[in-house]
């Protein structure tokens, strides 16, 4: 039995850090284990321009604990008014690594997103030319479509046509949750990759309703049937370079989740690596953890792996983590539903 594992320092290719008091409270949780993270731009108002991203990046750097070794990689929030020249300048600056497509109304703070993908063709053409990745929230927003079918429908009606129209565009299907999504990526080429979250490797849709409604397991895309979770586990542990970690750690203050109309988002930055080590051990795939968390993501984004390492050691079960305290209130940490025995040393 493996009881210790050393891997290159991991990266998180999809994280929400928010701003202000929440940023200050959650950033140390991400910076503790991850060398870099791709920062989602869905603030209110969203981070649309290079100027917005630069200012947000400085607020992140300013909120970093003393001595932290962490690099934020920024994204731009795509709107129907996005200026292709600004996108090009952002990529050339080296500070912005991707553009994020939110179908308007798909998730938290997505009202300024794209209603009709045909209205952003010029930007997508420029991105194809310069090789800049498009990160996609892959769900249709039609309320007539069942919430559990929205990703599969998006693949058929939006992603597949988009791939045909822009074969040179590099796309990441963010937080893939379905067998259909996994297979679509597997059957594509190296221009299409997918991130997988920690919680979607652990939860299936029954967990949201186990013994009562569990607001801290509500996120978008929503967790699917166990057979989809199994497909995600196979993809994550396969070593296929097109699947890598994006935690989608998405903090919301507890009162906004434990409410009659709770927000979508699961906060997992604090214990993601311990959760993943257990999942990979359960899948007899611990040697594949490094590719998933530390190698395949940088390879897709054209970056070298982080220089440092991280060591995981199997020990006694750790006590569950207390909620993160922010000046605005507490944020509950993801409960994987099993004891965490992997201790993370940096
Ligand atoms: C995210 C958030 O809270 O910003 N929520 C979520 O459920 N994942 C938005 C997103 O990534 O969809
Ligand atoms: Zn997200």
* pLDDT tens-place string over residues 34-76: 999 999 999 999 999 999 999 999 999 999 999 999 999 999 9
The length of the chain is 346
pLDDT of residue 149: 98
Phi then psi dihedrals of residue 290, to 5 deg: -60, -40
* pLDDT tens-place string over residues 304-316: 999 999 999 999 9
Nearest atom in ligand 1 to the alpha carbon of residue 263 is 3
Q: Which residues form the pocket of ligand 1, taking CB atoms under 6 Å from any ligand atom?
A: 16, 42, 107-108, 137, 219-220, 248, 250, 264-265
pLDDT of residue 317: 97
| Cα 14 to ligand 2 centroid, rounded to whole Å | 6
Q: How confident is the model at residue 264 (pLDDT cuts 50, 70, 90)?
A: very high
Element (H, E) at 75: strand 71-77
Q: Which ligand has the shortest distance to the CA of 251?
A: 1
Minimum CA distance residue for ligand 1 atom 11:
248
Q: What is the mean pLDDT of residues 156-171?
A: 98
Given 52, 240, 248, 335, which residue is catalytic?
A: 248
CA distances from 207 to 123, 175, 202, 223, 224 (A): 40, 18, 9, 9, 10
Contact 73, 109 (CB under 8 A): no
Contact 200, 232 (CB under 8 A): yes
Q: What is the mean pLDDT of residues 101-117?
A: 93
Helix count and strand count (H, E) for the chain: 13, 13
pLDDT of residue 2: 66
Task: Look up 248 and say whether it is catalytic.
Answer: yes
Q: Which ligand has the shortest distance to the CA of 106?
A: 1
CATH number of the domain bearing residue 72: 3.20.20.140
Rounded Cα distance between 271 and 294, Å, is: 16
Structural domain of 327:
4-344
pLDDT > 70: percent of the chain = 99
Rounded Cα distance between 241 and 230, Å, is: 18
Structure tokens at 55: 């200012």
pLDDT of residue 77: 98
Mean of the per-residue pLDDT values for the chain?
A: 97
Render the burial of 301-330: b for 16+ CB within 10 Å, e for the rest. beeebbeeebebebeeeeeeeeebebeebe
* pLDDT tens-place string over residues 277-290: 999 999 999 999 99
Contact 15, 248 (CB under 8 A): yes
Q: What is the mean pLDDT of residues 317-330?
A: 97
Q: Tally the domains of the chain.
A: 1
Q: What is the mean pLDDT of residues 122-137?
A: 98
- The three-class DSSP label of residue 157 is helix
Residue 153 contacts by C-beta under 8 Å, 6 or more apart in sequence?
140, 142, 145
Minimum CA distance residue for ligand 1 atom 4:
108
Q: Among 14-28, 98-112, 252-266, which is the least confidently predicted range?
A: 98-112
Q: Which ligand has the shortest distance to the CA of 18?
A: 1
Residue 150: how many other CB atoms lie within 10 Å: 23
82-87-90 Cα angle (round to 5): 135
Nearest atom in ligand 1 to the alpha carbon of residue 106 is 12
pLDDT of residue 49: 98
Asked whether residue 108 carries a pLDDT value surpassing 90, the answer given is: no
What is the pairing mode between strands 4-8 and 309-314?
antiparallel
Asked whether residue 222 carries a pLDDT value surpassing 70, the answer given is: yes
| Cα 39 to ligand 2 centroid, rounded to whole Å | 9
pTM above 0.85, yes or no: yes
| Cα 40 to ligand 1 centroid, rounded to whole Å | 9
| Cα 44 to ligand 2 centroid, rounded to whole Å | 14
Asked whether residue 219 carries a pLDDT value surpassing 80, the answer given is: yes
pLDDT of residue 86: 98
pLDDT of residue 1: 61
């Amino acid at each position: 039995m493996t009881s210790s594992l050393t891997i290159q320092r991991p990266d998180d290719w999809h994280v929400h850090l928010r701003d202000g008091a929440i940023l200050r409270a959650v950033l140390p949780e991400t910076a503790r284990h991850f060398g870099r993270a791709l920062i989602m731009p869905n603030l209110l108002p969203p981070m649309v321009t290079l100027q917005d991203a630069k200012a947000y990046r400085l607020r992140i750097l300013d909120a970093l604990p003393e001595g932290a070794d962490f690099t934020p990689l920024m994204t731009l929030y795509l709107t129907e008014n996005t200026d292709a020249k600004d996108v090009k300048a952002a990529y050339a600056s080296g500070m912005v690594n991707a553009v994020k497509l939110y179908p308007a109304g798909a998730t938290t703070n997505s009202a300024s997103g794209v209603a009709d993908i045909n209205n952003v063709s010029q930007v997508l053409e420029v991105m194809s030319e310069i090789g800049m990745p498009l990160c996609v929230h892959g769900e249709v927003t039609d309320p007539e479509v069942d919430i559990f079918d929205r990703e599969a429908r998006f693949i058929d009606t939006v992603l597949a046509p988009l791939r045909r129209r822009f074969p040179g565009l590099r796309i990441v299907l963010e937080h893939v949750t379905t067998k259909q999504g996994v297979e679509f990526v597997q059957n594509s080429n190296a221009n299409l990759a997918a991130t997988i979250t920690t919680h979607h490797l652990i939860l299936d849709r029954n967990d949201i309703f186990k013994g009562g409604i569990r607001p801290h397991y509500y996120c978008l895309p929503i967790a699917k049937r166990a057979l989809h979770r199994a497909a995600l586990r196979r993809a994550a542990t396969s070593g296929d370079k097109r699947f890598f970690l994006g935690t989608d750690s998405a903090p919301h203050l507890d009162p906004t989740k434990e409410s009659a109309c709770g927000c979508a988002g699961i906060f997992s930055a604090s214990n993601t690596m311990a959760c993943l080590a257990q999942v990979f051990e359960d899948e007899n795939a611990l040697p594949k953890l490094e590719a998933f968390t530390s190698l395949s993501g940088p390879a897709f984004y054209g970056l070298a792996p982080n220089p440092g390492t991280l060591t995981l050691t199997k020990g006694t079960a750790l006590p569950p983590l207390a909620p993160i305290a922010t000046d605005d209130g507490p944020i509950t940490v993801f409960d994987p539903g099993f004891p965490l025995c992997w201790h993370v040393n940096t």
